[in-house]
Amino acid sequence: MATAPSKPALWVKLTKFLREVRSEMRKVSWPSRKELITYTIVVIITMIVVALFTSVVDVLISGFLNLLARLRG
């Protein structure tokens, strides 16, 4: 009966994984400080606009549904 080849130890797998992660992270094109600040501002403004839009739509729909409820009696 043949035995299965022994698997690498957990430590060997972990160190290999971390070496590969390090290698891939070196390939990443990181934004400059100015780009990062610009992108952050764009995201925050976009979130505010979406939140305001959602709030306005929510108030309008709630008002419409309350009007319908009052008309129904």
What residue type is assigned to position 29 of the chain?
A: S
What is this structure's pTM? 0.61
Residue 9: the pLDDT is 86
Q: How does pLDDT run across 26-44, given as a tens digit for each residue?
A: 999 999 999 999 999 999 9
Reading the block at residue 60, the tokens are 């309008």
Q: Is residue 62 part of a domain?
A: yes
Q: Which domain holds residue 57?
A: 30-73
CA atoms within a 13 Å half-sphere pointing along the CA-CB vector of 61: 6
Reading the block at residue 8, the tokens are 């690498």
Q: Is residue 51 part of a domain?
A: yes
Q: Is residue 12 part of a domain?
A: no
pLDDT-flagged residues of the chain (< 50): none
Q: Is residue 2 part of a domain?
A: no
Residue 66 three-state SS: helix
